[in-house]
Structure formats: structure tokens, C-alpha cells
């Protein structure tokens, strides 16, 4: 029997940067909960963004935000995994010296940005619904940080190779789509966050279903026996999943949940 469902958001439930779920999903999640099945939204997004998306049922889902660096639910943070500050500041300085990249630093509740790119800021505030504070100098922000996000308008994977090689031993680095490189504390990923929920709730991987489309979803898919790649997923993700469903724009996840 399935007892836990974990799903990515961007590229899996919605198009990247979108904020509109099929409202039928809310009803289906509530019906699943009535049968004793928990639902967790696992995303690189900030928890406030996840809560905004799931607003009508925000008290009924778990938030695995910032690629697992934050685990919580409505009104309560359960686990927060912070990054060594020196590593964060070194990364900021390196990104500043590279053309075409922007860097965001995620605290537990606020995302800090020093970019002058107003179009980019408008997009992440109005599209992702991030709680963003623009500052003059990221290195002077007095906060703990749980994620570093490096953004490029396209082809971020190819343009961050030097960074991934330099920080591979001091950060967990993952590519999330064509625009984002996310960095967390070593050992932190969506799969680790799902395992934390499983252990806390007494749920086995064989009782878990997961959905994803990008490289930052692979560990999560491996933590669930019923692992699904959506039809628009990267080939590496399809190879990691046991099953496949329709694309995100064709409500692939919703179709499986309705069957369940």
C-alpha cells in the first residue's frame, strides 16, 4: 500500500517558473490523505513559494524545499541544513567574476540577491513567488544560508563546469533545468529529505511513490519503489525511474494519482 507521495514541482507539475497548478490536484491530494496517504512537495523552490502554490491545501502537505535543505509544514520548520559561511562567500566571489551568471543566497525564510537585473528579479518574485530581498553586497548579509543558486538564462550546466569542479567536495551541487545550478550542504538532496520523512513516519521505500524530471530528482526517485519520470524528463531521469507517465503539460502526475 502506498503511504507517501513525493513530487517535484517545476517541469513535473508545472512548467518551469510557473505558479498555476491544475486545481483538480488539490481535490485528489485530499482524497489520498483521507486514505492515509501523505503528500510532500519536493522542490528547489523556497518553502514560501511551495506554500503559495498549494495554498488551498497548505496545511495538508509537507514542504521539502531548497532541494531538501528545508523540511517543514505549514507554520513549522522541522529540519534546516545550513552551509558553511566561508564556502558560501567563496562561491559568491567566484560567480561575480564569471560573465552571464547571477547568484542568489537562500536563508531559511528569505532569498538574498545583489543583481541589478530587474527583469530577472521580477520573474523570480512574480513567477516563482519567492520572498526576495535585494542587497548591495551579499557578503555583508547577516544570515544562515541553506542554498546557493546560480542562474543563467540558458545552458547553465555548460557555463558552471568550473564551479562544479572546484566545489565538488565542499557542496552538494545539482543542475535543476536549463537555468539553475543549486548548491546545498554535502549530503543534502531531495532523496535524503524523503528518507527523513519515511523514517519519521515509519514508511518504507516500497510504500513510497515519487515523480520528477531533472537531475536534482534522481536521489528522490531512488528512495521510492514507485518512481516515475514525467514524459518531458531528462534521459538520465527516465533511466533512473522504474516507470514513466505523461508530460507535465498533460498532467502526467495527476493521471497517476487519480488511478491510485
Give the pLDDT confidence score for residue 17 in this predicted structure: 77
DSSP code at position 126? H
Give the pLDDT confidence score for residue 16 in this predicted structure: 83
CATH code 3.30.1240.10 for 85-184: yes
If you average pLDDT over every residue of the chain, what do you get? Answer: 96
CA dist list (Å): 179 to 17, 176, 214: 10, 7, 12
Residues 6+ apart with CB under 8 A from 52: 19, 129
Helical spans, DSSP H, in 58-189: 85-96, 118-126, 156-159, 161-167
Q: Percent helix, strand and coil across the chain, each rounded to 5?
A: 40, 25, 40
Give the pLDDT confidence score for residue 195 in this predicted structure: 98
Superfamily of domain 4-80+188-259: HAD superfamily/HAD-like (3.40.50.1000)
**Range(s) for CATH 3.30.1240.10 in the chain?**
85-184
Low-confidence ranges of the chain (pLDDT < 50): none
Give the pLDDT confidence score for residue 18 in this predicted structure: 81
**Range(s) for CATH 3.40.50.1000 in the chain?**
4-80+188-259
Q: What is the rounded CA–CA span in Å between residue 164 and residue 8? A: 23
DSSP code at position 16? T
List the one residue out of 182, 179, 171, 116 whose CA is nearest residue 149. Answer: 182
Q: Provide the whole-model pTM.
A: 0.92
Amino acid at each position: 500500500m502506498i503511504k507517501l507521495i513525493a513530487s517535484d514541482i517545476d517541469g513535473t507539475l508545472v512548467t518551469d517558473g510557473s505558479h498555476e497548478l491544475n486545481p483538480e490536484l488539490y481535490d485528489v491530494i485530499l482524497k489520498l490523505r483521507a486514505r492515509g496517504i501523505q503528500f510532500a512537495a519536493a522542490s528547489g523552490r523556497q518553502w514560501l513559494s511551495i506554500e503559495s502554490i498549494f495554498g488551498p491545501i497548505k496545511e495538508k502537505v509537507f514542504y521539502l524545499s531548497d532541494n531538501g535543505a528545508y523540511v517543514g509544514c505549514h507554520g513549522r520548520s522541522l529540519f534546516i541544513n545550513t552551509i558553511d559561511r566561508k564556502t558560501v562567500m567563496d562561491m559568491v566571489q567566484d560567480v561575480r567574476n564569471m560573465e552571464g551568471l547571477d547568484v542568489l543566497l537562500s536563508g531559511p525564510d528569505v532569498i538574498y540577491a545583489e543583481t541589478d537585473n530587474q527583469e530577472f528579479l521580477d520573474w523570480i518574485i512574480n513567477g516563482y513567488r519567492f520572498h526576495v530581498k535585494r542587497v548591495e553586497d551579499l557578503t555583508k548579509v547577516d544570515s544562515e544560508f541553506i542554498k546557493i543558486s546560480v542562474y543563467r538564462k540558458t545552458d547553465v550546466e555548460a557555463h558552471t563546469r568550473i564551479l562544479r569542479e572546484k566545489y565538488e567536495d565542499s557542496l552538494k551541487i545539482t543542475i535543476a533545468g536549463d537555468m539553475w545550478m543549486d548548491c546545498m550542504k554535502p549530503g543534502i538532496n531531495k532523496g535524503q529529505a524523503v528518507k527523513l520523512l519515511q523514517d519519521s513516519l515509519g514508511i518504507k521505500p516500497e510504500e513510497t511513490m515519487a515523480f520528477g524530471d531533472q537531475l536534482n530528482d534522481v536521489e528522490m526517485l531512488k528512495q521510492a519503489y514507485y518512481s516515475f519520470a514525467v514524459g518531458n524528463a531528462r534521459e538520465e531521469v527516465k533511466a533512473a525511474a522504474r516507470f514513466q507517465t505523461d508530460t507535465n503539460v498533460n498532467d502526467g502526475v495527476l493521471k497517476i494519482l487519480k488511478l491510485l
